[in-house]
């Protein structure tokens, strides 16, 4: 973790997060599931958003009563609006924390990416973060507290061959984070960007260990990214962690 910081002690994180309402997107697998699991274990109420209803329901059941599964295609602004209505009713107001994690990664040369594939990647990797922030920032600002966490990537600041549909969305998500951070400075609402390097999740398929990408056992663990998110959201209210960049040792 940047600066050699250590994650919060479990008892401290539990004291900070107990009863807090949190939204996590892409929560049925990988990094999103690891974040949802860590939050639920520390007493937060976690609204888990993902497209696959069956897998989402199963993962939420594993997390217990603290988890609320809400099937949602975050690339669809109307679907996000409906999901946030459910969240607002469940939490009796806007969530305390939103973790914008959902993403898709299909590395191919620009010449092999169709316009439809590019539009879908941008919709998930960039637009969804705007839809979520747009839905909650006003209420958070009025309340004087809240936290928007964006899960970025090393590809949000470094261009790699084959990332013609991924990096544009992640670069944009980093820029959106920067704007949100500046607009919310001094309001009590915080914004954090967590940018991990390659992380061991099912997103890699057969790509890991091919020489182009490291083997999965050399990648970050999804739980390490969850620890970084926990660190950021459990700092004292007067402290904002603007950005954390993570890489394997």
- Residues with catalytic annotation? 166
Say whether 175 sits in a helix, a strand or coil.
helix
Q: What is the dihedral of CA 115, 100, 192, 29, to 10 degrees?
A: -110
Residue 226 to residue 178: CA distance in whole angstroms: 21
Beta carbons of 31 and 199 less than 8 angstroms apart? yes
DSSP collapsed to 3 states, 31-91: HHHHHHHHHHHCCCEEEEEECCHHHHHHHHHHHCCCEEEEECCCCCHHHHHHHHHHHHHHH
- CB neighbours of 189 closer than 8 A, spacing ≥ 6? 137, 140, 141, 144, 145, 146, 147, 148
Which two tokens mark 100? 């914008």
Which two tokens mark 58? 């199963």
Taking the CA of residue 137 as centre, how many other CA atoms within 13 Å lie in the half-sphere pointing to its CB? 19
Which two tokens mark 241? 């962690």
Exposed / middle / buried, residue 187 (Cβ in 10 Å: 0-12, 13-18, 19+): middle
What is the end-to-end Cα distance of the chain in Å, rounded?
Answer: 10
């Amino acid at each position: 973790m940047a600066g050699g910081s250590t994650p919060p002690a479990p008892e401290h994180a539990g004291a900070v997060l107990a009863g807090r309402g949190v939204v996590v997107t892409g929560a049925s697998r990988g990094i999103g599931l690891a974040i949802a699991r860590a939050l639920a274990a520390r007493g937060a109420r976690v609204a888990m958003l993902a497209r696959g209803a069956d897998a989402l329901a199963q993962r939420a059941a594993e997390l217990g009563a603290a988890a609320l599964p809400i099937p949602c295609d975050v690339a669809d602004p109307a679907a996000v609006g409906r999901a946030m209505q459910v969240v607002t009713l469940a939490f009796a107001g806007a969530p305390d924390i939103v973790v914008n994690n959902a993403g898709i990664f299909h590395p191919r040369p620009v010449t092999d990416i169709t316009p439809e594939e590019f539009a879908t990647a941008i919709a998930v990797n960039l637009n969804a973060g705007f839809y979520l922030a747009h839905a909650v920032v006003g209420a958070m600002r009025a309340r004087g507290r809240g936290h928007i966490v964006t899960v970025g990537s090393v590809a949000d600041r470094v261009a790699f061959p084959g990332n013609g549909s991924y990096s544009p969305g992640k670069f944009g998500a980093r820029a959106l984070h920067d704007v949100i951070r500046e607009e919310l400075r001094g309001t009590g609402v915080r914004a954090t960007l967590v940018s991990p390097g390659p992380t061991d999740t099912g997103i890699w398929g057969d790509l890991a260990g091919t020489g182009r990408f490291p083997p999965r056992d050399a990648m970050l663990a999804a739980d390490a990214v969850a620890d970084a998110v926990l660190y950021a959201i459990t700092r004292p209210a007067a402290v904002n962690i603007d950005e954390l960049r993570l890489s394997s040792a």
